[in-house]
Amino acid sequence: MEPHVAEFLILALGAFLAGAMNAVAGGGTIITFPLLIFFGMPAIQANATSTLALLIGIGGGLYGYRSQFSGATPLLRLFAPVSLVGGLLGAWLLTVTSEKFFSDLVPFLLLFATVLFLLSNVVSRLAGFDGVSAAHPAHRFAAVVVQFGVAIYGGYFGAGIGILMLAALGLIGLKNIHEMNAVKTALGALINLVAAAYFVWAGLVVWPQAAVMTVGAGLGYFGGAAFSTRIPAKWVRAIVVAIGIGLSIVFFLQRFLA
């Protein structure tokens, strides 16, 4: 088998797993991003290509939460502008970051995303502050500031932004998890779309790999959604965390001890 054929097959399989993970529990970036680096793609291009490849699931996620958007419209109006601006700013920061700096940052980003994923339930519970008034100007301002920071991080790297957004929504007293997930999905779509568009404009996307991974991710999202009720989420979460920690260790050793 030709090396590039084997690479494309492995990338498609990795994207399939990432899509399935995102459909069931999230964390797909922890698979696709390091896999591209493994095959020799520079870290910044790998991040851009991974972001674009995993966009395929956004439509399905938005459709799945369509019944929740009627009550979430005011929140979307509040958070959408800062999500767009923050996502674009984060993507721009990636393009002006040196390859060495970003490569040195990769192990820390992966570890942060993995720990955040591991503690997602704790963060979600802490985000649901009882007695917080959504109408209080101070809480609304704090939530917008948090969301702006989340959007910048999302445009720059992206893994784990959904968990961070739940915390921002908790600051204004939102407690309906379905409504929170609807808002989170819509805002995540805005952040990833504007970041991916900027990466395409900046010429950072490697198209052959992106195309192969988009197909794999699409099949993974479909399969993950179809079997999400049959797969214990805790199993998926455990696998994602184990992979994330393992990859973080590997990247730390490669960058700082090799």
Total domains in the fold of the chain: 1
The token duo for 104 is: 């040195």
User: Helices then strands (H, E): number in the chain?
Assistant: 12, 0
- Quick: pLDDT tens for 85-94: 999 999 999 9
Residue 25 to residues 129, 157, 164, 187: CA-CA distances in angstroms? Answer: 23, 18, 15, 17
Among 109-118, 142-151, 211-220, which is the least confidently predicted range? Answer: 109-118
The predicted model gives 169-188 an average pLDDT of: 74
- 214 vs 256, more confident: 214
Query: Where residue 196 falls among pLDDT bands split at 50, 70, 90?
Result: very high
Task: Supply φ then ψ for residue 174, to 5 degrees.
Answer: -70, 130
Crossing angle of the two packed helices 207-227 and 3-24, in degrees rounded to 10 = 40
132 contacts 171 by C-beta, under 8 angstroms: yes
**Cα 108 from chain centroid (whole Å):** 16
113 contacts 157 by C-beta, under 8 angstroms: yes
The predicted model gives 230-255 an average pLDDT of: 76
At residue 129, the pLDDT reads: 46
Q: Is residue 34 within a helix (H) or strand (E), and if so which, with residue range? A: helix 29-38
Q: Tell whether pTM > 0.85.
A: no
Percent of the chain with pLDDT over 70: 77
- Quick: pLDDT tens for 89-117: 999 999 999 988 988 888 888 888 777 77
At residue 96, the pLDDT reads: 93
Among 42-51, 60-69, 188-197, which is the least confidently predicted range? Answer: 60-69
Query: Where residue 77 falls among pLDDT bands split at 50, 70, 90?
Result: confident
Its domain, for residue 96, covers 3-257
Query: What's the mean pLDDT when you consider all of the chain?
Result: 80
Crossing angle of the two packed helices 99-118 and 233-252, in degrees rounded to 10 = 150
- 136 vs 76, more confident: 76
At residue 243, the pLDDT reads: 76
Using CA atoms, how far apart are residues 123 and 164, in angstroms rounded to an integer? 8
- 226 vs 146, more confident: 146
Long-range CB contacts for residues 99-108, cutoff 8 Å, separation at least 24:
99/42, 99/43, 99/44, 102/43, 102/44, 102/47, 103/42, 103/43, 103/255, 104/255, 106/37, 106/43, 106/251, 106/255, 107/248, 107/251, 107/252, 107/255, 107/256
